[in-house]
Each structure stands twice: as structure tokens, then as C-alpha cells.
């Protein structure tokens, strides 16, 4: 069976062989619990966890003890948003986020609303960027947290994180960013960007699934965080549960590779995206979703007039594996909340393709996929009535 070309790298990435090689010894040979400090098995595991923690911390310019390992970015987002809400509710019960956030941010915010918190959902402009003046205007005396994702998972838009962080610092409001799609792809510096909490994951950067982290600022002003999982007191009491050494090792290795290869890889991947857009951009009635320049190198999101989105994906599935929106919402019959927030009509939002180009894609694949999209669109337009 010939598998289709994989262009859904925003949903997940294939694990790099170098990552798997680093992980394998910690399943059997070095299997100890990193919390078991009384013998060599625990020491080996703890040393491996510490090394990975240092690597990830270096990538974002934090200290190792500011990282809390989680099961992924979804848990990290929940810990950040709910943990801050619980710890600071006596100061205020107002939060600010953005309409185009991932559901792992929007749903915890909606949950907090059922508990009496108020949430402001900022709109975005037609290019996907927020209005910084509107953000500043929305901050109130009782605002305790602003949560804005670094890179959008559907349209790849890069928000001005450093400017947002500066605004939050000015008003003494905590700033959280979901950087699941950004880590390993763009430079991140929690100090320069004034980030107080940042959610990370490994599987978007060629690492294993099931492991992520939350950066929690300790200096100069320590961020208070109410733990959402109680138990053994691991991670300085902020997230209990036995640490999964193999996954943490894989996370660290994935980040180390990304740091070394990021500049050259971004340039190559952008070249692939530009070529695909050069081919598909000739389709009549095609619309680029998101900012034309402020976006991830490997993201291409388009809407195409005169075709049904599901029919388009069905027609392409033997050639290419991609999506029309977030993988977490792929079974949802509603149009993408991100595209509707951009002002796209439902019909165009349904007729969208999210292309995620990654480390293992080639120029030859872009040529094949581009021609397949053109051919499928022509076929559908002949057979469909709109």
C-alpha cells in the first residue's frame, strides 16, 4: 500500500529517528524512577531528566527549575489558566484571551466562566493578528491573566508576543502563551518577551506524543500556581505523578535538534511552501488565510471558492494527508472558528485546506500535491452546483 504524502505536520509530526534512538535505553536499561534517590537506577533516570530539562530551558532562556513537565500542551494550558485563576481569584476574576485560540485554551476559559470568572475574547483582524490597542483597552483592574498563543495551529499566524508581554508587564497582569506550534520553529525568549507562563509540547517538533511542559516564572516575581493534580508532590508540588523518563529524554533531544537545525530548516521549508503556493495560487477563487508574512514557515491555509471542503479532502486523500482545520476538531461539522473569526463566510470556511509542511517533506512532493489540488478542484467544480 502506497501511503499518501504527509502534510499534516500541525496535527503531529513523525518522530525523528535520532529522538527515538535517545529514548530507547530508558525503557529497559535505565528504567528507574527519577524520584528514587536512594540507588543508581533512580540516579540515572534523574540525571537524564535533568539534562533534558536544561536543554528545554536553554531553548526558551529560562532556568531549569521553572519548567513543569506535563502530559502535553493541553494539560499545560489547563494548569496555567486554571492554576492562575485559583491562585489569584482574590485579586481578580477577569481573564483575556483571543477568539482564534486553540480549544485547549478556550474550553478552560469557558469552564472558568461557569465558576463566576469573566473572560474577554478579543477579535482578530482579517489577517489574524490582534489589535494591541484593543488588548490594552480591555485590561481592567481585576484582570489577572492574558493568554495569547504564539503561533496559530490553523493559519500559522505569529502574534507580536514581545509587544503583548510588554503591555502585560506595564499593567502588572500575568501573560501566558500557548507555544505548542512555536517551540523549535521560531526563537522564544521568556525574558525578552516578558512571558510569565508558556505551554510547550514535544510532538509538534518531531518528538514523542504524551509529553509537554509549562514554563512558570520564578524571578523576579514568582508566579503563584494552584496545582491541578495532587499526589506525590513531583515537580516541586506543581504537578504530581511519576515522570516518564523516556518521553522527557525524547523531548529534550527533539528540542536540541531543532535548536541546531532551525535556521536552515525554516529557510528550506519556506521554499517548499512558496513553491506550493506558486502552483496553487493560480487557482481562480483561492484565498490565503492568515497574514502573508507573519506566519510559520511551513503553514499554508487556503479557502477555495466553488468546492465543498469534505469533497475536496476526499478527492485528495489518495495523494496527500492534510486537514481543513484543527486536528482536535476534525470531526466537528461546524466551520473552523479560526476562519470565521477572520471574517470568512461559512461556505469559504468549509472549503479550506490546512497544509503543514515539515522536516521530511520534499520539493517533488510539493509539485505532486500542487497539481493534485488543481486537478481535484477542476473536477469538483464541474460536478458540483453552488
* CA distances for 33 relative to 27, 48, 57, 155, 263, angstroms: 11, 11, 22, 40, 36
Residue 271 CB contacts under 8 Å (≥ 6 apart), including other chains: 363
What distance in Å separates the CA atoms of residue 49 and residue 55, rounded to the nearest whole number?
Answer: 10
Q: Specify whether the backbone of 243 is left (phi greater than 0), alpha (psi in -120 to 50) or beta.
A: beta
Peptide bond into 10 cis (omega under 30): no
Long-range contact pairs involving 107-115 (C-beta distance under 8 Å, separation at least 24): 108/77, 108/78, 108/81, 108/82, 109/81, 109/147, 111/82, 112/81, 112/82, 112/85, 115/85
What distance in Å separates the CA atoms of residue 132 and residue 23, rounded to the nearest whole number?
Answer: 42
Q: Could you confirm whether 168 is annotated as catalytic? A: no
Closest of 298, 305, 386, 384 to residue 344, by C-alpha: 305
What distance in Å separates the CA atoms of residue 386 and residue 384, rounded to the nearest whole number?
Answer: 6
Catalytic hit among 168, 244, 280, 328: 328
What distance in Å separates the CA atoms of residue 62 and residue 70, rounded to the nearest whole number?
Answer: 17
**What residues are labeled active site?**
328
Amino acid at each position: 500500500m502506497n501511503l499518501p504524502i504527509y502534510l499534516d505536520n500541525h496535527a503531529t509530526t513523525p518522530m525523528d529517528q535520532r529522538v527515538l534512538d535517545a529514548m530507547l535505553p530508558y525503557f529497559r536499561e535505565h528504567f528507574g524512577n527519577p524520584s528514587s534517590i536512594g540507588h543508581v537506577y533512580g540516579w540515572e533516570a534523574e540525571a537524564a531528566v535533568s539534562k533534558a530539562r536544561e536543554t528545554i530551558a536553554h531553548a526558551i532562556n529560562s532556568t531549569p527549575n521553572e519548567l513543569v513537565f506535563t502530559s502535553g500542551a493541553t494539560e499545560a494550558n489547563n494548569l496555567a489558566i486554571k492554576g492562575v485563576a485559583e491562585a489569584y481569584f482574590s485579586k481578580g476574576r477577569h481573564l483575556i484571551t483571543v477568539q482564534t485560540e486553540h480549544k485547549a485554551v478556550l474550553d478552560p476559559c469557558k469552564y472558568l466562566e461557569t465558576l463566576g470568572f469573566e473572560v474577554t475574547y478579543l477579535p482578530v483582524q482579517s489577517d489574524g493578528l490582534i489589535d494591541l490597542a484593543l488588548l490594552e483597552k480591555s485590561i481592567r483592574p481585576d484582570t489577572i491573566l492574558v493568554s495569547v498563543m504564539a503561533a496559530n495551529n490553523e493559519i500559522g499566524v505569529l502574534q507580536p508576543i514581545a509587544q503583548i508581554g510588554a503591555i502585560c508587564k506595564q499593567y502588572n497582569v500575568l501573560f501566558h502563551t500557548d507555544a505548542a506550534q512555536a517551540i523549535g520553529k521560531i526563537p522564544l525568549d521568556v525574558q525578552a518577551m516578558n512571558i510569565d507562563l508558556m505551554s510547550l509540547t514535544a510532538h509538534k517538533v518531531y518528538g514523542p506524543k504524551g509529553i509537554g511542559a509549562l514554563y512558570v516564572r520564578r524571578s523576579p516575581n514568582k508566579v503563584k500556581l494552584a496545582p491541578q493534580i495532587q499526589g506525590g508532590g513531583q515537580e516541586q508540588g506543581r504537578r504530581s505523578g511519576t515522570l516518564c523518563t523516556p518521553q522527557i529524554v525524547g523531548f529534550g533531544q527533539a528540542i536540541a535538534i531543532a535548536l541546531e537545525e532551525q535556521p536552515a530548516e525554516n529557510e528550506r521549508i519556506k521554499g517548499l511552501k512558496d513553491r506550493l503556493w506558486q502552483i496553487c495560487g493560480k487557482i481562480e477563487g483561492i484565498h490565503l488565510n492568515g497574514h502573508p508574512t507573519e506566519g510559520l514557515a511551513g503553514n499554508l491555509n487556503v479557502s477555495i471558492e466553488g468546492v465543498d471542503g469534505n469533497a475536496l479532502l476526499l478527492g485528495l486523500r489518495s495523494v496527500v494527508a492534510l486537514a481543513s482545520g484543527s486536528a482536535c476538531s476534525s470531526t466537528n461539522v461546524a466551520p473552523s472558528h479560526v476562519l470565521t473569526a477572520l471574517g470568512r463566510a461559512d461556505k469559504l470556511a468549509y472549503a479550506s485546506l490546512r497544509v503543514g509542511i515539515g522536516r521530511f517533506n520534499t520539493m517533488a512532493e510539493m509539485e505532486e500535491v500542487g497539481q493534485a489540488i488543481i486537478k481535484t478542484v477542476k473536477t469538483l467544480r464541474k460536478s458540483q452546483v453552488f
